[in-house]
Structure 1
Amino acid sequence: MATLSNDLGVIESESVYIIDGLQRTNAIKMTAEELAGEPQALTEFLARMLRIEFWIDASFGAIAYRMLLLNAGQRPMSMKHQIEVLSSRLGQSLQGIAGIDIFSTGDSRRRANPGQFQLAKLSQAFQAWLQGKPNIDVRNVVMEELLAEGAIETLGSTLDDQVQGDQHDGFRKLVAWIVAVDMELGRDNLAFFGNETVLQGLSAAVGGAERHEKIASRVWPALDDLLHKCQAGNAREVLDVDLYDALRKSFDVSKINVGSATRELVNGAFQELFFSGGVRSMRECWEFAASRVV
């Protein structure tokens, strides 16, 4: 215990996160300040027993798992609240990816080079990865609770101490792949991964497929093969970005929501890539997905 106390004593406040109990912590602090003029009462108050859990060097998945639950009745937070709470920690977790440059929406900067992403867009992609769905109405209470339970199960699996490296955080691995492909696309094709609908559609496809018993094993071989093809040739042609652009622009804005349709298009294309085990070309995948977008 003495060793732990010494270790905790040198930790900077910026490295400490209150995962749950922030209001109670503030209440204790305020009460102690109010009793500052009453030594006896203050001593008795501070002598009360408290249960405190310290999670040292916890992975992002482990922290997220705890954040997704509220103590009272173990009720999940709203999906919107989950993403808001996780965003800052998510950004820090992803900063270690080679080539990535994350900036907030409040910055005056804009995406000018491959590997640059707004934190808000990555947070939305993370939500899509958790849900395994590109579009969903989080105002639907029943669906929201089902999604939260799925998120808890997914992130809870990362608590396994036997899992190491990039496998410890599936979303981080996906973002690393996106950055690598983004680099191959270059500055002339910033619009592709700069579009949040592409990030969300792809993330939903990967997240859903990784948790699908029959196709989970096909996801990363297909993505790795696609990356190798981008590295060996023209990435824009390998991904067939021109066809994607043409299909996206062909949507009838008077009949459908273009944003939702685009997310469905991207999601469907990558789902087809996974279903085929990477055998189909992206042109075939785009065409197949377009035929199913209503």
Structure 2
Amino acid sequence: MNLNDLNLFIRVVETGSFTAAADSLSVQKSTISRRIAQLEDTLGIRLIQRTTRKLKLTPEGEELFSRAQPLIDDLSAVQDDISATKTELRGRLRLTMPTEIGVFMMNEVISSFMKAYPRIEVDVELSTRTVDLIEEGVDLAFRLGPLPNSSLIARHVAGLHRGLFATPEYIQQHGMPDTPDDLIQHQCITLLKPFDHLRFVNWNNHEPVSMGGRLRTNSLSFVREMILQNMGIGRLPEVFCGPLVESGRIVRVLEGFDLEPLEINALYASRRNLNPRVRAFLDHMSDRLSDHPWVQNKLVHLTH
């Protein structure tokens, strides 16, 4: 069995099409199709059922993928590690993340990484939009909240503890809610595209809670500013509001009810195609974030 052909087969399955696999590897689609056919001829079995709309693995193809992918990943990791020791890491690393994660959490990670690897160039897009890593050539994406099912590899970064906050002036005018169900009667500042539903670990069996209000935004920083303008109750990371709470400018709302933590994950396309720059950044991130106030649980190094 040709390992290069097996490599291409795994990439086709991971990306979901011959076209996407060809684009991600910068080869011709016809080349991948021919090599997969050669692999099938060598094995004497059909691996992929080809239709005009989508690809479907045969039972034999599913078994080959499930058993071969970890082996190819391990082999690629060994090759990356050996290559990385031969020359100093260089090239461009492309990252995307929400603005607040970049400004308040990843700022020191990125700056110290660039000092440690002076020949690596870094592009950072601060945005909440969902980036297609393969189509847009992005190496690593940081995303908040539950992850949809996909072929992307996810590495857990942190769990953020959050709370509900408002100004004393707002509470004086509108009253303090007694239970989460009272939030529907309040002016709440919410997100345009919520990362997750408002849920409490000790209320209503974790079912979502409705929030009233007229103001929505895509920025946590703007939520905080609107809270300070007495516009209502907002949900924010605890450490994002610590100094404001200590100074008395804002107060915690529903302190006896604990919100579910917000998960942060780093996504990349494939372990097998993980270049040494991304691997180095993930390990560097693990070291630098281990004691960060936004991180509620310890990180582990990327397994080689």
TM-score calculated relative to the size of structure 2: 0.23
**Would you tell me which structure has more strand in proportion to its own residues?**
2
Rg larger for = 2
TM-score calculated relative to the size of structure 1: 0.24
